[in-house]
Structure 1
């Protein structure tokens, strides 16, 4: 019985592909004893897919916040680096989502920036090192974004397949019970 849901294929991250039930009769040989457990297995797999989808959606939301932040930081550091010929530069910077401040910087002597790395850690980097680090993080996050979008598409397809399967199982059982009453 558990062989039904044993994955024949999976995606590159190991998410199993949902089987498609062509004929319910080929899966359920003894309806009185097998139907409830098979239906339960299919519903559990469907819930697993939905949980994975929820997790991937949260990861997607996190990346959709991180990537623009990294791009903003890169823009500021590149601007500082390009303005090294000037004595002073005035920039607006974000303190909070809705709060900005203006600062005048001595650009000739500005050779490093502090980057917030998370987990209450901030480190000083030279401008070139900061650009290199942020470009690397941007590239990795964009790759992760592509992977998560692929996984979400794969999960949506499998959720649909499992919803169709459970509907077919349910409808088959309803028809079977009607025939038995006659």
Structure 2
């Protein structure tokens, strides 16, 4: 009589924490790479279920469940990637603005030290500018965002902008590092899902061959 494959026990869900092996300093989880599919499925089995050494003829956890868990992790990674891409774009736009503001404050400080007036142009309308000559009074206004502008002394403004520039550059470096980690993780998740699927195809073929 032909052997009949027994259906694996139903598993409602897989704890996605079992799919990762730690986090980087900013909390992004690093996915595990599956070396042995059968053993890995055994580690996902609920307490009291099949062991990690469960036979490939009856996986400890349904293949669909394991792939679904990785697919959920994949969706989270893609969401993280979208958010970080947005952050990187914002930082790339923000850094030049801070640098221009810092250069302007340095120029004002230099003119004040040399006791010279500042020659500048101001916008009257689209493509229309007026010429102005300013005497520095040691204060400058800086946009902080959210329609907020504050007045600072030249020294305070310089210190604020130097700190903001350093923070923005560090944020950009961290964002690029996180994006690289995410992309590596996304590739690993795709490989893991393919390995599980291919393992299951081979397992089913082997069972069919024994009938």
Greater Cα shift, 68-77 or 1-10: 1-10
Whole-angstrom CA distance in 2 between matches of 1:134 and 1:93: 22
8 Å CA contact 2:141–2:149 kept in 1: the answer is yes
RMSD (Å) for aligned C-alpha atoms: 2.5
Other-structure match for 1:54: 82
Q: Tell me, what secondary structure is at the counterpart of 2:21?
A: coil
Counterparts of 1:98-177 in structure 2 under 5 Å?
101=129, 103-107=131-135, 109-177=136-204
Other-structure match for 1:89: 118
Q: TM-score, normalised by structure 2?
A: 0.75
Q: Tell me, what secondary structure is at the counterpart of 2:35?
A: coil
Whole-angstrom CA distance in 2 between matches of 1:37 and 1:100: 65
The superposition leaves residues 150-181 of structure 1 with CA deviations (integer Å, 9 ceiling, x where unpaired) of 11111111111111101111222222333344
Deviation of residue 132 (structure 1)?
A: 0.8
Deviation of residue 93 (structure 1)?
A: 6.5
Q: Tell me, what secondary structure is at the counterpart of 1:17?
A: strand
The superposition leaves residues 8-55 of structure 1 with CA deviations (integer Å, 9 ceiling, x where unpaired) of 321011211101011212123434961111110011111111111111
* Structure 1: gaps spanning 5 or more residues: none
Whole-angstrom CA distance in 1 between matches of 2:165 and 2:138: 22
Other-structure match for 2:30: 17
8 Å CA contact 1:4–1:19 kept in 2: the answer is no
Whole-angstrom CA distance in 1 between matches of 2:199 and 2:122: 63
Q: 1:156 to 1:37 in 2, by over 3 A?
A: same
Whole-angstrom CA distance in 2 between matches of 1:167 and 1:91: 63
Other-structure match for 2:3: none
8 Å CA contact 2:19–2:70 kept in 1: the answer is no
Q: Tell me, what secondary structure is at the counterpart of 1:12?
A: coil
Larger radius of gyration: 2
Higher relative contact order (CA 8 A, sep 6+): 1
**How many pairs does the alignment contain?**
179
Q: Tell me, what secondary structure is at the counterpart of 1:22?
A: coil
